[in-house]
Amino acid sequence: MNNKPVAVITGASRGIGRSVAIALAAEGYDIAAIARTIDSEGMENLGLEVEKIGAQFFPIGLDISCTGCQKEVVSNILERYGRIDFLVNNAGVAPLQRIDVLDMTEENYERVMNINLKGPVFFAQKIGREMIWLKQQMVDYNPVIVFVTSVSSVLSSTNRAEYCVSKAGLSMASTIFADRLSREGILVYEVRPGIIQTDMTAKNKDKYDKLINEGLVPQKRWGLPEDIGKAVASIARGDWNFSTGMIFEISGGLNIHKL
């Protein structure tokens, strides 16, 4: 069995997932990095970064929406390391196009929901079961699950309703898993990013630049993937061990309601 703790990160090849993987490697975790394909420049560069820190890197190809493929992935990680200590359910997509909710199609809705909600929920279910078993086998084992959601779980965008609904559902999933797994000694948290500089937001950069400059974000800057990485690293250090079910909103003050 691996002596070092092992972190599994979905959507790891770029953006938030990449920063989380690097942050957890720096905290002493070996990294099982999941992306739709392992044959990408992003995944290759992440591997170099993680190994430079001194952590092992295990790249895994998985479309998270393929729930029937998940069991084999979990088995492969356990076969290699003998443990899973930390799951970061980060993989997610935006709608293929922003379109009025009155024109939203079932096809686009199902795509977003399968990737952003169904896949992560059943992946957490599978890994949660393994964590319960591992908890009975190992001493000094402190498993954690993190769901990466979005401020869109509580803020309406009428031209990307499927994304908002998927993230609202994932937020509730985080609460439910925190509730159920608390009796098993497994901690669960929600990390809720705001407007973060990633490939997903790049195509709407001018719009967000204007909104941020006009004061939508009280701290008046874009969030960075590293901001999310720091939050997850704090959880990994055990700084919030009496706070299961907590929501960490990393949004520069978007959560502030004001007149």
Whether the pLDDT of residue 162 is over 90: the answer is yes
Taken in order of first residue, the domains within the chain and their CATH numbers are 6-248 (3.40.50.720)
**Residue 204: its pLDDT value, please?**
87
pLDDT confidence tier of residue 77, bands split at 50, 70 and 90: very high
Average pLDDT (167-188) is: 98
pLDDT of residue 127: 98
120-147 confidence digits (pLDDT tens): 999 999 999 999 999 999 999 999 999 9
Does pLDDT of 1 surpass 80? Answer: no
pLDDT of residue 194: 97
Mean pLDDT of 140-159: 97
pLDDT at 241: 97
pLDDT tens digits for range 10-52: 999 999 999 999 999 999 999 999 999 999 999 999 999 999 9
Residue 178 CA to residue 185 CA, distance in Å, equals 10
Task: State the chain's mean pLDDT as an integer.
Answer: 97
Distance CA 250, CA 90 (A): 14
- Tell me the pLDDT band of 258, cut-offs 50, 70 and 90: confident
Residue 57 pLDDT class (50, 70, 90 cuts): very high
Q: What is the pLDDT of residue 259?
A: 82
Q: What percent of the chain has pLDDT over 70?
A: 100
The string of DSSP codes covering the chain is: --SS-EEEEES-SSHHHHHHHHHHHHTT-EEEEEES-S-SHHHHHHHHHHHHHT--EEEEE--TT-HHHHHHHHHHHHHHHS---EEEE------SS---GGG--HHHHHHHHIIIIIHHHHHHHHHHHHHHHHHHH-SS---EEEEE--GGGTS--TT-HHHHHHHHHHHHHHHHHHHHHHTTT-EEEEEEE-SB-SHHHHTTHHHHHHHHHTTSSTT-S-B-HHHHHHHHHHHHTTTTTT-TT-EEEESTTTT----
Residue 61: pLDDT band (50, 70, 90) is very high
Model confidence pLDDT, tens digit, residues 198-254: 988 888 899 999 999 999 999 999 999 999 999 999 999 999 999 999 999 999 999
Mean pLDDT of 157-163: 97
**Amino acid in position 78:** L
Please give the pLDDT value at position 54: 98
Report pLDDT for 2. 78
